[in-house]
Structures are given as structure tokens and as C-alpha cells.
Amino acid sequence: MALENSGVPTVAVHTHVFARLVKSVAQANGMPTTRQAFVLQPIVGKTAAELRAYIEGDDPVTNRPFMQEIIEGLTQHLTDADLKGVSFDRSTPRLLEADTEENLQELFMDNHWTDYLPIVLPTEERVEQMLTGTSHGHDEIVGRLRPTYFRELWEYTVEKVAVNAVMAGARPEYFPVILALAASGVTARSSSTTSWSTIAVVNGPIRNEIGMNSGIGALGPYNHANATIGRAYGLLSQNLQGGSVPGDTYMGSLGNNYNYTATFAENEERSPWEPFHVQHGFEATDNTVTSFFGGWYTQAGFGPRDTWQEKFRHCLAACEPFSGPILVLDPLVARGFVERGFATKQKLIAWCAENACLSAREYWDNQWTQTLHRPHAVAGIEPYASRLKAAPDEIIQFFEPDQIHVVVAGGETQGAWKMINGMLQGGIKGMKRGEGIISIDEWR
């Protein structure tokens, strides 16, 4: 659409599963008649001959010859609609028309405003009560979110965040944590085909003040604060960013269970290491929440036992090389690593970075290293350029230390650990010292 604005007639080619999405993006950009042509999904893995057949075949959306769509898209005279585009106001009301509880529950579900579990209806009284959890004004802008980078950013106030917090069943004392997550600028409802989720980790004294669980079952459904803060993050993301509707504003092929709720606290009291936020420059008395964008893969094990190094190497090699892991370690595991000489988290992270290895052939045989890393490699940017020059069987290290994180959680009933995909992301407000780590205290 930027090329059209520069006066260049353009046709965008997409695969057919994105038809609804690209039409709604064109509409939201005021250019609903943008010329588009479609080929079958997928492109990845298809031979040159198969792709040529796509080009010589029919557009699967319009059932007209694909190349006819292309040529007419560049040469056919414009209509009145093409010449003016579409302007409209999509503002949303503050309150909905009064109705019964049953009808409102149905309305929220029909409008894709829920996660398909029952919600607490956000009455004026409940929202007012939630707003007592912060000193910030109702109308203060908290931030902006969108399902993916090419969509428009939606904006929201403290009150709108409170509405979603009520729906999730959260309590006012959790509200500063929820506001901090809303301010992160990191959505918990990404529309990426890679079914991401966003995992949030809370640090600081507030964990105990609001009764979060960092012990037995920390990652499970065994605590009101953990469960509802995570759920609120998901609901506020989908509703405040303009939706998370399959085929339109959500395209994750498999979906992700972490999207229901994925918030827990670090077990700072039982960890032998510095808390996560202290590693990143905060004081132990500060309260923070960290958004890790990921949740795509999870690996797990026990120990550390004599062969832990082999197990870790296998698990690291099985991580997606474009997206690093959070090592979530039970305190028993963390202390086991201290006994093996890892006096700090950073030492364990350094070992993992050195031992996250693949052959160049495996590293590059990945649609996302091809899409994300290869352009950098071709442009001569390191470390990607050296990886591209490597012989197919040459072993390459593919994680930098800052792509790996360590958090201690769990109740010491077993020496259990997980490697959960999670990238530390930047936010737009309330940030200090440590990108992606958001101050909760600023939202009290």
C-alpha cells in the first residue's frame, strides 16, 4: 500500500489462507480495493515446477486465472471506490446496551471478546472496584497493541484495562501487575502463524503481597493471582488490540495452550541465585513483570544428573534457532547446578550458549532462519554471514547468551526443569533498566 501511495500500481500476492486477513488489513488502511492475487498455500517446500503451476493455474480465491488477476490488477481502469478509498470511524462505546446476564455472556462470546470460558461481566461497579487498585487516572492512556507488526496499533486507557481485568476474574490488588503487562507493548495474542504465546514472570515483594504461587504447581492452575493475571493479559491483548479471531486477526496454525494463562512468579526465596530482575539492574525490593514472547516449544527433564550435559545439548539443539529458551528450574535443580560450579545464572547461560550447536545444514533448513536470518547473512551481517559461509556439516553455535534466560520456580517435590521458548521483548512505557522488564511499582 505504501507503493500505491507513491504512485506505483501494485498487486500483492498471498497464499489463499490469508484472504480474509489481507482484505481486513487493506480495509483498516483505508484502501479496501487494494489489488491482491492468491495462490495455494503452502509456498514453503514446493519445487520450482510446482510454483510455476500455481502461476499458470487459477487464483483459488476468485477461481479466475492467476496471471489474469495480476495483469488486470496493474492495468484495469480504476473505479470510483479505488479513487477515494474508504474513511470511517471505528470508535467503540464505553458502555453496552443493558441486557440480562445470559444474553451478555452470549454477546461477549459471539463477538470473540472471551477465551470461551465464562467471564465475569464488567459491570460499572466491578470496574470501579478494579480501578481502586491503582492511583492512575481512569482516562490515562496505558499503551498501544496490535496482533502483528503490519496491523494498525490500537490504544487503550486504564479503565479499558480494568474492564478486561474484571472479565478475567482478577482482584484490584493484582491490577498494577496487569497494567504493567498492558503497558509492555507486547501482545499475548500474536496473530503469527507460529502460534506464539507470551509468558509473564513476576519478581519482587509484590509476589507475596498478592499471594502468587512460585512453589508447588507454580506453572499450573493452582493459584488465583497466577491464573487470573495471566488470563487478564490474554483477554486485554485480544480486546484492546482489535481482536484475535481465527482467519482474520489470528493465524496460528496449531494454537497454543499457554494462551489461556501463562503467568507465574520466580521462587526468589528458594533460589540460590539472584532474582531475574536483579540480574537486569533492578533492586530486590523493586517489583517487575517480564514479558517473554514465545511459548512455541517446551522441553523438559530432571536432574542435573551425570549426563546432564548431553541432555542439555540435545534439548538446546531441539530449540528453534531463531528464538531462544527460558530455563525454568526447580530450586533443587538450581542448587544442583551450584554444586557443579555454576555459581551464577550467567555461568549456566554461558555454558548453554556455547553448547547450543547444530550443523550448518540443519540450521539453515528452517523456514524462519531462511526468512529472518538469511537476509542478514547475505548482507554480510555477523554472526549470520559466517553461518552462511559454513560447510553443510560444519558445527555452528546459534544462540548468543542474551537469548537465553534462567528463572527459578517450583516446589522441590522433584528436580524438574523445562526449557520454554521465550524472547525478552521491549515495551513502550514504564520501562527501566532491562528491555522487556516492566516496573509494576509505576502502576500502583
- CB closer to other proteins out of 131 and 329: 131
The residue within the footprint of other proteins, chosen from 122, 185, 275, 324 (CB under 8 A), is 122
**Of the listed pieces 240-248, 268-276, 327-335, 406-414, which binds other proteins according to CB under 8 A?**
240-248
Residues 312-371 that bind other proteins (CB under 8 A): 367-368, 370-371
**Of the listed pieces 159-167, 277-285, 293-301, 429-437, which binds other proteins according to CB under 8 A?**
159-167
We find the least distance from the C-beta atom of residue 232 to other proteins, in angstroms, to be 11
The residue within the footprint of other proteins, chosen from 57, 150, 246, 300 (CB under 8 A), is 150
Binding status of residue 109 toward other proteins by CB under 8 A: no
We find the least distance from the C-beta atom of residue 108 to other proteins, in angstroms, to be 8
- CB closer to other proteins out of 54 and 399: 54
We find the least distance from the C-beta atom of residue 204 to other proteins, in angstroms, to be 28
Burial letters 48-65, b for 16+ CB under 10 A, else e = eeeeeebeeebbbbeeeb
Binding status of residue 160 toward other proteins by CB under 8 A: yes
Binding status of residue 308 toward other proteins by CB under 8 A: no
Binding status of residue 117 toward other proteins by CB under 8 A: no
- CB closer to other proteins out of 9 and 246: 9
Residues 6 or more apart from 159 whose CB is under 8 A from it? 127, 131, 138, 139
| Torsion sign (Cα): 184, 289, 248, 366 | positive
Write down how long the chain is: 444
**CA atoms of 420 and 404, how far apart (whole Å):** 10
Binding status of residue 98 toward other proteins by CB under 8 A: yes
User: Helices 175-183 and 224-240: crossing angle, nearest 10°?
Assistant: 40
Binding status of residue 245 toward other proteins by CB under 8 A: no
Binding status of residue 99 toward other proteins by CB under 8 A: yes
We find the least distance from the C-beta atom of residue 6 to other proteins, in angstroms, to be 4
**CA atoms of 362 and 381, how far apart (whole Å):** 20
Binding status of residue 216 toward other proteins by CB under 8 A: no
The residue within the footprint of other proteins, chosen from 23, 24, 25, 54 (CB under 8 A), is 54
- CB closer to other proteins out of 63 and 75: 75
Q: Could you tell me which residues are beta bridge partners of residue 419?
A: 299, 327
- List the grid coordinates of 50: 510446482
Binding status of residue 290 toward other proteins by CB under 8 A: no
- CB closer to other proteins out of 6 and 285: 6
Binding status of residue 129 toward other proteins by CB under 8 A: no
Residues 6 or more apart from 78 whose CB is under 8 A from it? none
The residue within the footprint of other proteins, chosen from 62, 123, 298, 355 (CB under 8 A), is 123
Give Cα 374 distance to the centre of its chain: 23
Binding status of residue 153 toward other proteins by CB under 8 A: yes
Binding status of residue 113 toward other proteins by CB under 8 A: yes
- CB closer to other proteins out of 20 and 311: 20
Query: Residues 275, 284: contact at Cβ < 8 Å?
Result: yes
Query: Residues 153, 143: contact at Cβ < 8 Å?
Result: no
What single string gives the DSSP state of each residue in 135-154? SS-TT-EEEEE-SSTTSPPE
The residue within the footprint of other proteins, chosen from 240, 319, 349, 420 (CB under 8 A), is 240
Residues 381-440 that bind other proteins (CB under 8 A): none
- CB closer to other proteins out of 37 and 329: 37
**Of the listed pieces 142-150, 323-331, 338-346, 424-432, which binds other proteins according to CB under 8 A?**
142-150
What mask of x and - would describe binding to other proteins in positions 21 to 50, judged by CB under 8 A? ------xxxxx-xxx---x-xxxxxxxx--
The residue within the footprint of other proteins, chosen from 25, 136, 154, 388 (CB under 8 A), is 154
**CA atoms of 192 and 190, how far apart (whole Å):** 6
The burial class, CB within 10 Å (0-12 / 13-18 / 19+), for 389 is: exposed
Give the largest Cα separation in the chain, rounded: 75
Strand (E) or helix (H) holding 198: strand 197-203
Binding status of residue 86 toward other proteins by CB under 8 A: yes
Strand (E) or helix (H) holding 296: strand 288-302
Binding status of residue 65 toward other proteins by CB under 8 A: no
**CA atoms of 105 and 222, how far apart (whole Å):** 25
Binding status of residue 70 toward other proteins by CB under 8 A: yes
DSSP character at residue 317: H
CA distances from 327 to 66, 111, 112, 406 (A): 48, 37, 34, 5
- CB closer to other proteins out of 34 and 223: 34
Nearest in space to 16 (alpha carbons), one of 76, 73, 86, 69: 69
Residues 220-239 that bind other proteins (CB under 8 A): 235, 239
